[in-house]
Structure 1
Amino acid sequence: MTPARRAAVAVGAAALLAVPVPAAHAGQRPDQGAPPSHGSNPAATPYMGWNTYYGLGAPTETEVREIADFLVGSGLKSSGYDIVWLDGGWQADDPRDGRGRLVAHPDRFPSGIPALVDYLHERGLRAGIYTDAGTYDGGETCGLGSRGHYQEDARQFAGWKVDAIKVDFLCGITEKLDPGPAFKEFGDAVAKSGRRMLLNLCNPLTDDWGIPHTPAQDAHNAYVYGPTTADSWRTGTDIAWGTPSAGQWPNVLRNMDANAWHPEAQGPGHYNDPDYLIPMRTLQDGSYELTAEESTTQLVMWAEMGSPLVIGSDPRTLPRQMIDTLRNPEIIAVDQDPLAIQGVRVATDATGDVYSKVLQGSGRRAVVLLNRSDRPAERTVDFADAGLAGKVGVRDLRARKDRGKHTGSYTVEVPAHGTAFLTLTGRDDAPGASLGVRSDASPALVRDGDRVSVFTRGADGSLRQRTGHEGRGTRGPPVSAVPRTGGSWERPSPTRTGTDASTSSSGAPTTPPTGSPTPAAGGAGGRSSADGSRTAPPSPTRTRGAGPSSPGERTDASRCAGRGPAGPRSTGRRTRRCTDGRRWPPTGRGAPTSPSAPTTTRSVPGCRTPPAPGRTGRRWAGR
């Protein structure tokens, strides 16, 4: 396998490069490159649990209690899956009483939400609940909405002793709101509620919906506001229909690829969220929506990316082998690594990809060899792509067996739609390079082919860029000792090359096109603006795993490396019908883009008439 073309690699600064950085001292200003982040931090590592939507649709109190007991009895709770999260459908048909307070559905939750929360807490579980950031529209597009009631709803959830809140955006989409400001208002209300509650943002709007929208309204750009607003944020649309449906494997890849675009936004306490795990949901003919191998691939890739692990399937229906896979402690340990660095793509070809994730400790990587194809294939990881040298120990995490020590590379056969999940232990290969500049904050080195750009921040906070070619820097010594992998990478500004220049961090976010260079950092890079400039690179502090930070020290070469997303995207549009005949999206929007693209019409509980029994369709008025 060849390294990804144009795998521009940024090295996470003082920890990796010999750039003089002032030593920390009393009264020193914070790193100008470190963006603020949401401060509640109830999840120092990615949270885990189960959500009602993909497994139950409109849940009932009895079902939720039964599954809570199953989580405890099956060992899933002891493995970390400890949040029981109500999605839409818990609310009454008229979601507010005469005083404006939210009320539970009297038939589905006759004991009320506080009693259910107490039941969960007694079993050592946490309770999650659902609302929408938009204005309730009578059930046309959402089952409830908190806009106009942010403070009241946040305090009510706190009073119920809820531990986690999911905030959808269905009515927000209908109102054409910008999600960032709306979510920020709700997040501020949660912060003032008097209870620490995990906050998950769910804006599902992407081009897949077929609805005109601005870049700011697109789910792919949630990385702009997510880290300062919530503990996690969806990075794409829903991964599947509410009802199990054949052909969902391409959508797993679609959500995985979208989640890979902005790993620099992730860190301890704030996470990119590619949606829930949907292992082995049963179709009407008795077969599975995803095979055991495909389901394991989703789990492995979510763990590699340090994503929240929330089971969406009804766990009571899963084969014991799948339960054991979900509980695999070595897979979970990668997801729960305290550095919370998102693994990124370091090599790719027509068959699949290699992902590498830096783990806590010297010379440790978690590596995935992904086979996207329909046939088994031999896959290889070059250790240099993971920033390792010398003899490298290989352990198979799925089999929980050591595979010996190897030099240079490791090759293994990977099943169709499958993965090999490895930990590598070797010597960090990070020689570093003297850039001959002084920075008041986090410097970064970016390589795109033989083109090298150096980003630093001055004392006034301005971002400085210097660009040249490998071995021929525009000023100072040649930039030649650049590790092949490490840090994060960004697209250099197209208008600032060859000389020192201050670059702007303004501009609306844009979704990177497939195959173009996009950020691929696990905590060491910054964000990219519409003009391609790099903004707000976080500081590579010890808490983010960058290692020593005093001048001249060099350490971990492979904080991250990668390239833009690749792979299939869903062409289908989703149509859902309320039980009284209304459609969502409205007629003329969300239609298939080609005759072969599926149009699905299903009963959608949460509209103004009672829901039909059984499983529900995708994205009903309440999800």
Structure 2
Amino acid sequence: MDQGAPQYYNSGLTPTPYMGWNTYYGLGAPTEDAVKGVADFLVSSGLRNAGYDIVWLDGGWQATPPRDTKGRLAADQTRFPHGIPSIVDYIHKRGLRAGIYTDAGAYDGGKSCGLGSGGYYERDAKQFAGWKFDAIKVDFLCGLAQKLDPGTAFGQFSAAVAKTGRKMLLNLCNPVTSEWGVPITPEQAANNNYIWGPTTGDSWRTYTDLAFGNPTPGEWANIVRAMDTNAWHPEANGPGHWNDADYLLPMRKLPDGSYELTEEESTTQLVMWAQMAGPLIIGSDPRTLPQSMLNTLKNPEIIAVDQDRLGIQGVRIQTSGVGDVYSKVLSGRGQRSVVLLNRNDTPSMISVDFTKAGLSGDVQIRDLRQRKDLGTFTGSYATTVPPHGTAMLKLSGTDYAPGADLGGDATASPALVRFSDTDAAAFTRAADGSVLMNTRKGANWAQQWTRLDGHRILGQPAAYGSAGGRIDLFVRGSDNAAYQRTFRNGQWGPWIWLGGDLTDAPTVAFTSPSSWTLFARGKDGQVWQRPSNAWWSSIGAPNGKPIYGRPSAVVDGNGPHVAVRTADDSVWIWENGAWAGLGGTISGSPAIVATLGRIYLFARASDYTLWQRNFSDGSWGGWFPRGEFPSNAFDGSLGAAAGDNGSAWVAFRGVDGRVHQVVL
């Protein structure tokens, strides 16, 4: 299904966010006995059965220097007298998985890192596989000191892991930010890890470390900071590739016996990490936690939100001086997890507007923290939230989408053709890959879809109407070639092969049935074009780097305009033979349509709402939101056609899997 996304990394190990425990914040430099003690506790306390099944050795496991005379990584013999294979075996025998730590840079004698795999990527990955580790954390401390590019270095390590033949979860930890006070390039900044992370590893850090090794007063501010920075790019998150906001730090004790985070603050971190569909790795020593905190960490209803199979990161849908409301789409029709977050130091009343959460009608509410039903409500719900606390709710209602419901069971974004307000057609992809067609004759759309025989397709169709009710349909076939099919004189003609080697669905700058140019993403990630009277050639891509997903094209008196999504999730446009950036942060392929001398550009934003930007009088205006679309009202991209009086008809696939159509 075309969602304007890259070929994501997929180890097959993390269809939902991984869970476990890491030694760094709880133990510092780990020892064999301490690790065994925590592993046993994960089992006896029920944390393992709740899902926390990784025991992860962070820095400090290694010898000094970290390699033996043969160049192999070696453990500290005092802390791990029986060696690493022995502790891995101990962990595995308890039904747990084992993780290990290294750095992307080369060891520099301990100035920047305690060990490093620089120059040894394949050898170290093979050694970790031989030790039967299930997960690897790769830091970037020596990587930064040696001025490496994190995307390149982590990509090389990822390739080395793939060569081992053993599946190992890959956590890429570049925590470098301007707060470090050292010179960094934009590529080295942690807030840009989302650009390369989804194609390189199972997870990547979204900002700097949450805390120091030892408990420190004032930690709540760091939790809020990590939460907010992790919210910047929810579009990068999903099954097999996860934003990592750092570890959970429940109730570490300060020297005076108080807690670095209160129990409510610790619960807020867990709730927000689950709401944002992130890895849940306990950083505290779980043996020190009160039973009430352990019970919260094991709460199956909170964990179920984190582990929902859709893997959609919850996004902010409301904000005020008091706090925020986050909504997350869950699997199943009309299901949302909603968190009311109080940032204040005093109890505060916070409410959720059901429409902004993408729901209509009566809504049933369940309190996930208290694990009890609250009843049925209409319009909104409000409750008092404790300071630095949360209310975590499950909402069950009816998915809201603007406009007419065309039904169907679409597996791709639709295409739309409009001849008049009473004569239109929509196309989408069925579950078996065939093309489905719906028609509007009069005031309403047909109540059922018609299946077109012939080719199975990949991604979003493209369709264009012209005089006499003619429709030209363009698709990507299952063989990755482009095909065209024409409807005229009341019947469909045969499929016509147009060639190409496409890696996403095509779009067309359509002037007439005899004059059009098809654009698509090629195997090299660049944009390729095929005019109606010539063969394929490349127009390149912004900065020569691969684009994401399906381009969108129109043609006017100035020639074709081609909009694309780039790896940093911004929009670029190809006009007058050159690329120019239009900004934005988007989560699906852009869609453009020409009407009354203007061009409208639509794109799903990172918070899953719809935004628009217009071209008129020779220049592009700014982005603005379309209030008709709440967060998560639709998936992917729009199908668009010109309407009367400068309007645009758009069709979209709702989160309910059905096709909808509205006039904007």
Structure-1-length-normalised TM-score: 0.70
**Residue 279 of structure 1 is aligned with which of 250, 253, 261?**
250
Q: Which residue of 2 aligns with 1:577?
A: none
8 A Cα contact 1:352 1:371, kept in partner: yes
- 1:148–1:508 CA distance, 2 compared to 1 (3 A): farther
Distance 1:417 1:187, change over 3 A: same
Identity %: 60
The alpha carbon displacement at 1:372 in A equals 0.5
1:556, distance to aligned residue in structure 2 (A): 2.3
Q: Specify which of 552, 555, 565 is matched with residue 654 of structure 2.
A: 555
Alignment check: 8 A CA contact 1:266 1:523 kept: no
After superposition, the Cα gap between the structure-2 partners of 1:199 and 1:491, relative to the gap in structure 1 and judged at 3 Å, is closer
Q: 1:460 aligns with which of 520, 524, 549?
A: 520
- Look up the SS of the partner of 2:194 in the other structure: helix
Tell me what 2:377 maps to. 406
Q: Structure 1 or 2: larger strand share?
A: 2
CA contact (8 A) 1:342 1:523 kept: no
Deviation at residue 555 of structure 1 after TM alignment: 3.1
Structure 2 residue 308 is matched with structure 1 residue 222: no
Q: Displacement of 1:175 after TM fit? A: 0.9
Q: 1:93: Cα distance to partner? A: 1.1
Distance in 1 (CA, whole Å) between partners of 2:657 and 2:320 is 20
CA contact (8 A) 1:201 1:234 kept: yes
Q: Deviations over 1:27-55 (max 9, x none)?
A: xxx84833011131211100000000000
Q: Is the 8 A contact 2:19 2:281 kept in 1?
A: yes
Q: 5 Å matches for 1:371-520?
A: 371-432=342-403, 436=416, 441=459, 458=507, 459-461=519-521, 463-464=551-552, 519-520=605-606
Q: SS of 2:356's equivalent? A: helix
Cα 1:545–1:384 change in 2 (3 A) is closer
Q: Deviations over 1:265-319 (max 9, x none)?
A: 1111110000000000000000000000000000000000000000000000001
Deviation of 1:464 after TM superposition, in Å, equals 3.0
How many residues are treated as equivalent by the alignment? 475
In structure 2, the CA distance between the partners of 1:442 and 1:354, relative to structure 1 (3 Å rule), is: farther
- Corresponding residue number in structure 1 for 2:423: none
Structure 1 residue 509 displacement after superposition: 10
Residue 214 (structure 2) aligned to one of 243, 259, 268: 243
Q: 2:168 aligns with which of 197, 206, 220?
A: 197
Q: Which is bigger in relative contact order (C-alpha 8 A, separation at least 6)? A: 1
Q: Structure 1 residues 495, 231: CA separation in 2 closer, same or farther (over 3 Å shift)? A: closer
Match of 1:304 among 275, 292, 312: 275
Q: Does structure 1 conserve the Cα–Cα contact (< 8 Å) formed by 2:24 and 2:213?
A: yes
Conservation of the 8 A alpha-carbon contact between 2:315 and 2:328 = yes
Q: 2:570·2:582 contact (CA, 8 Å) conserved in 1? A: no
How do 1:164-175 residues align onto structure 2 when only pairs under 5 Å count? 164-175=135-146
Q: Is the 8 A contact 2:265 2:389 kept in 1?
A: yes
Distance (Å, rounded) in 1 between the aligned partners of 2:576 and 2:373: 49
What's the counterpart of residue 528 of structure 1? none
Q: Provide, for residues 473-496 of structure 1, a one-character-per-residue CA deviation record: whole Å limited to 9, x for no partner.
A: xxxxxxxxxxxxxxxxx9985989
Out of 284, 287, 295, the position equivalent to 1:324 is: 295
Secondary structure at the counterpart of residue 123 of structure 2: helix
Whole-angstrom CA distance in 2 between matches of 1:131 and 1:524: 41
Task: Provide the rounded CA distance (Å) in 1 between the counterparts of 2:88 and 2:388.
Answer: 39
Per the alignment, residue 499 of structure 2 pairs with none
Q: Is 1:143 the equivalent of 2:114?
A: yes
Q: Name the structure 1 match of 2:310.
A: 339
Q: Which runs of 5+ in 2 are unaligned?
A: 405-413, 418-426, 429-457, 463-504, 508-518, 522-526, 528-550, 555-567, 587-602, 612-619, 624-632, 640-649, 659-664
Contact 2:415 2:638 in 1 (8 A): no
SS for the counterpart of 1:384 is: coil
1:508 shift after superposition: 13
What displacement does 1:435 show? 8.2
Q: Is the 8 A contact 1:42 1:198 kept in 2?
A: yes
Q: What's the counterpart of residue 152 of structure 2?
A: 181
Q: Distance in 1 between matches of 2:146 and 2:377?
A: 57
Secondary structure, counterpart of 2:156 in structure 1: helix
Q: Does 1:252 align with 2:340?
A: no
Equivalent residue, structure 1, for 2:11: 40
Task: Give the whole-Å Cα distance in 2 for the aligned partners of 1:317 and 1:389.
Answer: 45
1:80 aligns with 2:75: no
* Residues 153 and 532 of structure 1: CA distance in aligned 2, closer, same or farther (over 3 Å): farther
Q: What amino acid maps onto 2:130 in structure 1?
A: G
Partner Cα separation in structure 1 for residue 32 and residue 636 of structure 2: 48
Q: Relative to structure 1, is the Cα distance of residues 90 and 54 closer, same or farther in structure 2, using a 3 angstrom cutoff?
A: same
Distance 2:136 2:585 in 1: 26
**What TM-score do the two structures reach when normalised by structure 2?**
0.66
Q: How many Å separate the matches in 2 of 1:553 and 1:130? A: 44
Residues 127 and 162 in structure 1, CA contact (< 8 A), matched pair in contact too: yes
Matches within 5 A, 1:38-187: 38-187=9-158
Cα-to-partner distance string for 1:480-537 (whole Å, 9 max, x where unaligned): xxxxxxxxxx9985989xx999966799999xxxxxx995347999xxxxx9999xxx
Q: Is the contact between residue 210 and residue 222 of structure 2 (CA under 8 Å) also seen in structure 1?
A: yes
CA contact (8 A) 1:492 1:533 kept: no
The aligned residue for residue 6 of structure 1 is: none
Cα distance in 1 for partners of 2:75, 2:622 equals 48
| Residue 491 to residue 443, structure 1, CA distance change in 2 (3 Å) | farther
